[in-house]
């Protein structure tokens, strides 16, 4: 078996996933867009317009809430989409229908089949980020201040964040039964969203020290803070080195767990 065959086989799996994605593109986009769209509409358009502002507290003076939530909502869009992209179909494919079988029987190491899932999920996460960004930039009634301080930093954060999210999706998809998928969103996805420094910068959690420390186990914190450093550098944010380092560590750890889970589920 030459490496060329392995790469061609994996490319075949990517093409298959893209075919399925194209078929489900519209519902997928609706799912991706609905949450951030309603959030920015209510909190950054309706509230300021009717005179019920939501503040940012110390550190974000003058920049407004609409600016604070831009990086967070982009991060949530990416994470939510990447997790859904791999976890939802995978629970089915590994479940009663065993649809994964044909890819398990492809002449490729099982670990690579699992990694392909992460990569395709990451690509969908990036697309979701690109779709969410204009929404959260143009809808708010108050001005949004975004400028990219460093393109390499932005690209690195986006890549790592989407890979970490894809890996998290693989972990969830291989450890949850199809009947529990709704529960998984309630128990995992919703809490990491609300406690992911999406709607407030991490630095401001200093007012609640136990929470500030607790949320550090949440991968979304580093994605939001990383994007904050890249997109809204004038707002308080974690040092880019810290969020990048944590993202690398989490991508590796979640990737390892997810791949291991995949092999366990496919090899009896």
Partner 1 sequence: MTAAALEIAGLTRTFAGPPAVTALAGVDLTVRPGEVFALLGPNGAGKTTTVGVCTTRVRPTAGTVALDGIDVARAPVRVKQRIGVVTQYNTLDRACTVFENLYYHCRYHGWGGREAAGRTGELLAQFRLADRAAAMAQTLSGGLAQRVQLARAIAHRPSMLFLDEPTAGLDPQSRLALWELIAGLRAQGITVLLTTHYMEEADRLSDRVAIIDHGKVLVTGTAAELKQRVGADTIVELQLERLDDALVARLEALPPVRRVHRGEHGLRVFGTARDGLIPPIVEAALPYGLADLRIHEPTLETVFIQLTGRELRD
Q: Segment near partner 1 (CB under 8 A), from 49-57, 77-85, 99-107, 146-154?
A: 99-107
Contact 244, 161 (CB under 8 A): no
Q: Say how far apart CA 71 and CA 60 lie, in whole Å.
A: 14
Contact 219, 254 (CB under 8 A): yes
Residue of 91, 124, 243, 266 that binds partner 1 (CB under 8 A): 266
Residue of 11, 25, 194, 256 that binds partner 1 (CB under 8 A): 11
CB burial string 122-159: b at 16+ within 10 A, e below: bbbbbbbbebbbebbbebbebebeeeeeeeebbebbbe
Distances (CA, A) of 135 to 130, 190, 218, 225: 10, 21, 25, 20
Question: x/- contact string, 71-90, with partner 1 (CB under 8 A)?
Answer: ------------------x-
Residue of 97, 182, 245, 252 that binds partner 1 (CB under 8 A): 97
Contact 53, 78 (CB under 8 A): no
Q: Please identify, using beta-carbon distances, which residue of 31 and 145 lies nearer to partner 1.
A: 31
Compute the least distance from the CB of residue 81 to partner 1, in Å: 17
240 binds partner 1 (CB under 8 A): no
207 binds partner 1 (CB under 8 A): no
Compute the least distance from the CB of residue 124 to partner 1, in Å: 15
**Residue 148 DSSP SS3:** coil
Specify the residue for token string 């529960």: 183
Residue of 34, 101, 187, 213 that binds partner 1 (CB under 8 A): 101
Residue of 16, 31, 145, 260 that binds partner 1 (CB under 8 A): 16
50 binds partner 1 (CB under 8 A): no
Q: Say how far apart CA 69 and CA 43 lie, in whole Å.
A: 10
23 binds partner 1 (CB under 8 A): yes
Q: Say how far apart CA 112 and CA 119 lie, in whole Å.
A: 10
Q: Say how far apart CA 115 and CA 95 lie, in whole Å.
A: 19
Q: Please identify, using beta-carbon distances, which residue of 202 and 262 lies nearer to partner 1.
A: 262
Tell me how crowded residue 15 is: count the other CB atoms within 10 A of its CB. 10
20 binds partner 1 (CB under 8 A): yes
103 binds partner 1 (CB under 8 A): yes
Q: Please identify, using beta-carbon distances, which residue of 6 and 142 lies nearer to partner 1.
A: 6
Q: Say how far apart CA 227 and CA 148 lie, in whole Å.
A: 10
9 binds partner 1 (CB under 8 A): yes
How many binding residues for partner 1 (CB under 8 A)?
32
Residue of 12, 48, 57, 59 that binds partner 1 (CB under 8 A): 12
Which positions lie near partner 1, rule CB under 8 A?
1, 4-6, 8-9, 11-13, 15-16, 19-20, 23, 89, 92, 97-109, 266-268
């Amino acid at each position: 078996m030459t490496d060329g065959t392995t790469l061609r086989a994996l490319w075949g799996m990517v093409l298959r996933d893209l075919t399925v994605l194209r078929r489900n593109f519209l519902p997928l986009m609706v799912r991706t867009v609905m949450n951030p769209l309603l959030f920015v509409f209510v909190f950054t358009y309706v509230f300021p317009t009717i005179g019920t502002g939501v503040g940012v507290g110390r550190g974000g003076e003058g920049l407004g809430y609409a600016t604070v939530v831009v990086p967070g909502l982009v991060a949530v869009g990416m994470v939510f989409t990447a997790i859904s992209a791999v976890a939802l179909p995978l629970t089915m494919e590994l479940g009663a229908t065993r649809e994964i079988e044909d890819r398990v029987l492809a002449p490729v190491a099982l670990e690579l089949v699992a990694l392909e899932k992460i990569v395709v999920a990451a690509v969908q996460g990036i697309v979701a980020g690109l779709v969410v960004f204009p929404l959260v930039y143009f809808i708010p009634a108050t001005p949004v201040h975004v400028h990219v301080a460093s393109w390499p930093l932005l690209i690195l954060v986006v890549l790592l964040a989407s890979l970490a999210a894809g890996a998290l999706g693989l972990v969830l998809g291989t450890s949850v039964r199809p009947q529990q998928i709704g529960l998984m969103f309630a128990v995992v996805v919703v809490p990491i969203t609300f406690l992911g420094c999406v709607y407030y910068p991490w630095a401001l959690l200093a007012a609640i020290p136990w929470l500030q420390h607790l949320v550090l186990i949440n991968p979304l914190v580093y994605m939001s803070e990383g994007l904050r450093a890249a997109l809204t550098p004038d707002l308080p944010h974690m040092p880019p080195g810290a969020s990048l380092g944590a993202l690398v560590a989490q991508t590796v750890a979640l990737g390892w767990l997810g791949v291991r889970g995949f092999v366990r589920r496919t090899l009896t």
